[in-house]
Structure 1
């Protein structure tokens, strides 16, 4: 009888672990080219006071300036610093000895995204931003092939290269990026399609984040995906334009968007207490007059950051060296699906 009870206990534990794994959801977010300097220190006063980069100096300073870096960053990204900082993990504050870098040698977008979603840099094959189908299989593609998560992984991005980064032909992942419409739209998605078409385009291949965000949020409300990737893009393009005020304001809005996603997951039974958020960037940027730019000739362009919060996140030591290539295995550990690849990938952060 004792052996039977012991066996039943083991079986019960195994099924409990399977159920818990099946319940895990992930919202993975990237803010393209958002610098660690603003994330941890708030607005850069040298850039904010420079008329070359900021056409509304007083307005920006009134909204986001303060006496200390801690106060400035909380005004700029209040959700991250008033909520996430209490219960989550924030890596990359180089002032505090927390270092995050990309492993690839390119220090621009496609190589950065490839490294983040696959766990390894591919400097030989992923060395441009061209629309080339990614030969590497991402953790998102593998999760989507698992019985627990089949047809429950969705990709949204502001940049029209994301279908190639996630290799839409091979992966068969549902990907909405650039100026793509929602397919088989409901009434809300029809309106988003309409407003997207009627809004003047600024960058051609990159739409405004408001469309990416609302497409993704509506999918979460109606289709209940278990894994969602959302790639916001405005911060990088405003920076390339030398438009510091919009670069700052865009990140402030991204913070509101992240809060909206989090609030939704905490009020929906499908997601509540079962969801982990992972947020990062694809690369850093320069400083001073080089803040607009990145690439391997720009000092600091390999400097990244990572934010994680949600039901699977526990405090860890934040000082030391971390890399974007650790996020694929981190996702694998959270979601309970092994990541299989012949490449050497970064170890899980958790």
Structure 2
């Protein structure tokens, strides 16, 4: 307990006192990526043995068992998330393996999507006002909006999401940030051939959910935006994992999780191949909420589902020490992301309500 108290004290002191200093970080660009409802259990232990025998992961022709199952959880997690464990674990940091009492939790008490995303983006929980998934404009200012108000980042902030509520979470109307989400198409007079193709396919291929498009569309719109617009701050919100989980499709859930791992690899390799981004970009990855842990409760989340507030966090970039899987005892939250972004950019966070930064993530 003394270690935890000292750690939080140091984090608080750093976040309150360091912002008047001249920028000494190397980070010039930020890419934030979120999964929707991906559990820490899969991230740190791979496919869950409780789900294997009744979700299609059984040893029969055409099953996914060979691709995702191994009795060793270290092997399993590498099979499921090869980029995370072969690259980020070597070059960055991963938080949230509760086997080491390395805990990341929601600060909000809702444990579902809008409150979770608000917390990540604004830096604090707001249970009094953000307590549903309704399409209401976020009264809180996100770090995206704050940056878009600065001369250095004005017009260089973009967001892409699979869920059609993101324009409200980011408050597109007030912030002026371009948000392509749900079933939005790429627009403008100078669409690339790739954008035209994605537009056509999105209109022809409808996913199984009314308000959430399939992640390939979100991914490729974002990837093309990196090449075309070169934003300095980019937010990508993948959504499939949560919706497959709600449907009880564990095989689709883990397939989508692995696909997203590969999407993030493609994003990172694209950034590292571009002089604007190479060795000047920090990648932060997190999640809006967790899920239950039993054969029934894993499909759900919310305040009535134990463990649904347990989440995870990872980062990689020029100012992030390569300490890999964090095994130190302590408590972190997704509310720390917003202030951490500003500290990485060497800027003061303008809202005093935001949570402290993640001290270990920054040199």
**1: CA distance between counterparts of 2:23 and 2:46?**
42
How far the C-alpha of 1:67 sits from its partner, in A, is 2.5
CA–CA distance in structure 1, aligned partners of residues 154 and 321 of structure 2: 28
Q: Name the CA distance, whole Å, in 2 between partners of 1:161 and 1:178.
A: 7
Post-superposition shift, 1:342? Answer: 4.4
Matched residue, 1:283: 289
Do residues 261 (structure 1) and 248 (structure 2) align? Answer: no
| Equivalent of 1:321 in 312, 317, 331 | 331
Q: For 1:322, what is the secondary structure of its paired residue?
A: strand
1:49-85 Cα distance to aligned partner (Å, 9 max, x none) = 12xxx13533221111113110000000001001110
- Checking the alignment, whether the CA contact within 8 Å between 2:162 and 2:181 is kept in structure 1 is yes
* Aligned partner (choices 228, 235, 239) of residue 222 of structure 1: 228
* Residues 1:241 and 2:243 aligned together: no
1:26 to 2:30 alignment: yes
Match for residue 351 of structure 2?
A: 341
Contact preservation (8 Å) 2:215, 2:240:
yes
Does residue 136 in structure 1 map to residue 140 in structure 2? yes
- In the TM superposition, residue 18 of structure 1 has moved relative to its aligned partner by 5.7
Distance 2:297 2:41 in 1: 13
TM superposition score normalised by structure 2: 0.88
- Structure-1 separation of matches of 2:347 and 2:25: 12
How far apart in 1 are the matches of 2:156 and 2:327?
32
Q: CA RMSD in A?
A: 1.5
Considering only CA atoms, is the larger Rg found in Structure 1 or Structure 2?
1
Task: Please tell me whether residue 309 in structure 1 is matched to residue 313 in structure 2.
Answer: no
Task: Go from structure 1 to structure 2 and tell me whether the alpha carbon gap of 1:147 and 1:176 turns closer, same or farther (over 3 Å shift).
Answer: same
Kindly tell me: are residues 344 and 268 of structure 1, through their superposed partners in 2, closer, same or farther at Cα, counting changes over 3 Å?
closer
Partner SS state of residue 116, structure 1: helix
Residues 1:115 and 2:113 aligned together? no
Output the CA distance in 2 between the equivalents of 1:341 and 1:173.
19
How far the C-alpha of 1:20 sits from its partner, in A, is 6.2
- In 1, the alpha carbon distance for the partners of 2:25 and 2:81 equals 32
CA contact (8 A) 2:122 2:354 kept: no
**TM-score, length-scaled by structure 1:** 0.91
Distance 1:318 1:214 in 2: 35
In 2, the alpha carbon distance for the partners of 1:266 and 1:187 equals 23
Q: CA deviation at 1:348?
A: 3.5
| Higher helix proportion | 1
Matched, 1:45 2:64: no
Is the Cα–Cα contact under 8 Å of residues 157 and 231 in structure 1 kept in the other structure?
A: yes
Q: 1:75 — aligned with what?
A: 79
Structure 1 runs of 4+ off > 4 angstroms? Answer: 17-21, 315-318
Aligned residue number for residue 55 of structure 1: 56
* SS of equivalent to 1:314: coil
CA distance, structure 2, for counterparts of residue 146 and residue 19 of structure 1: 19
Q: Which runs of 5+ in 2 are unaligned?
A: 1-21
Partner secondary structure for residue 291 of structure 1: helix
Q: 2:179 aligns with which of 175, 188, 194?
A: 175
Paired residues of 1:323 and 1:346 also in contact (CA < 8 A):
no
How many residues in Structure 1 have an aligned counterpart in Structure 2?
Answer: 330
Contact 1:48 1:60 in 2 (8 A): no
Name the residue aligned to 2:16: none
Looking at structure 2, the residues matched to 198 and 315 of structure 1 have their Cα atoms a distance apart, in angstroms, of: 43
